[in-house]
Amino acid sequence: MTQILAALILVILVAIVVTRVLLLRSAGTQAMHFGRVDKTDFLIPPFALFYFYLVFADAFHLPLASTQTLFQSGWLSWVGVLLCGAGLTVLVLSLVSFGKSFRVGIDVEHPDELVTSGIFAVSRNPMYVAFGSVLLGQFLVFPHWVRLVYFVAAVLLFHRQVLREEGFMRQRYGDEFADYCKRVPRYF
C-alpha cells in the first residue's frame, strides 16, 4: 500500500507542475525556461524518467535495476508516505503563493515580482524543500541504494539551481532580495 501511495504522489506532483505550466501558457505567460541558462540541464530529464520507472517498477512489481534493499521497515515506509504527502502539500502552497510568478528555470527576459509572502515567508525555496521531501520519502518507501544515490544527486542539483536563482535575484531585485535573505532562511 505504501508503495502505491508513493507512486501516486509522484504522479500527482508532476501533474500539478505540468498543469500550472500549461495554465500559465494559456494565460500568455511562458513559464518553461528549463535549460536556457545552462544547457547541461538537458542531461536531467533522462535520469528523471529512469527514476519514474524505478518508482513504478517497485510499486507494480516490474523488472528492476537492483532488488537489493538497504533496510526493511513498515513504519519507516509510512513515514516516507507522510514525507511525500508533506512535500506535495508544500508544493501546492508554493504554487498558490507564486501566483503568476511561477517559472521552471530562470526567466531573465520577463521576471515577475519577488514573492516573499505565503510559504515564501517561511522558506526562500519551498518548492525545492517540497521536491527534497518527496524524494526522501520515496527513499524510505523504496529503500534501494539507487534511490539513495538519486536523493543525494537531486539535493546537489537543487542546491546548484538555488545558487543560480539567488545570483539572478541579487542582480534583479538588489536590496529587496538582500533584506528578504536576512529575514527568511534558504531552505527551512
The domains of the chain, with CATH numbers, are: 2-183 (1.20.120.1630)
State how far the Cα of 107 lies from the Cα of 90, in Å rounded to an integer: 22
Lowest-pLDDT range of 8-12, 16-20, 108-112, 163-167 = 108-112
State how far the Cα of 55 lies from the Cα of 144, in Å rounded to an integer: 11
pLDDT at 99: 86
User: Tens of pLDDT along 7-23?
Assistant: 999 999 999 999 999 99
Q: Note the Cα 139 to chain centre separation in Å.
A: 15
State how far the Cα of 95 lies from the Cα of 127, in Å rounded to an integer: 8
Mean predicted confidence (pLDDT) in 109-130: 92
Distances in whole angstroms, Cα of residue 106 to Cα of each of 37, 88, 101, 119, 125: 7, 22, 11, 20, 14
For the record, the C-alpha cell of 86 comes out as 508533506
Confidence of residue 102 (pLDDT cuts 50, 70, 90): confident
pTM of the model: 0.91
User: Is 126 within 8 Å of 120 (Cβ atoms)?
Assistant: yes
- Give the sign of the dihedral formed by CA 70, CA 53, CA 36, CA 114: negative
- Select from 123, 7, 106, 124 the least CA-distant residue to 54: 7
State how far the Cα of 5 lies from the Cα of 72, in Å rounded to an integer: 17
- Select from 33, 133, 155, 44 the least CA-distant residue to 86: 133
Question: 186 or 41: which carries more pLDDT confidence?
Answer: 186
State how far the Cα of 6 lies from the Cα of 45, in Å rounded to an integer: 20
- Give the sign of the dihedral formed by CA 179, CA 105, CA 149, CA 87: positive
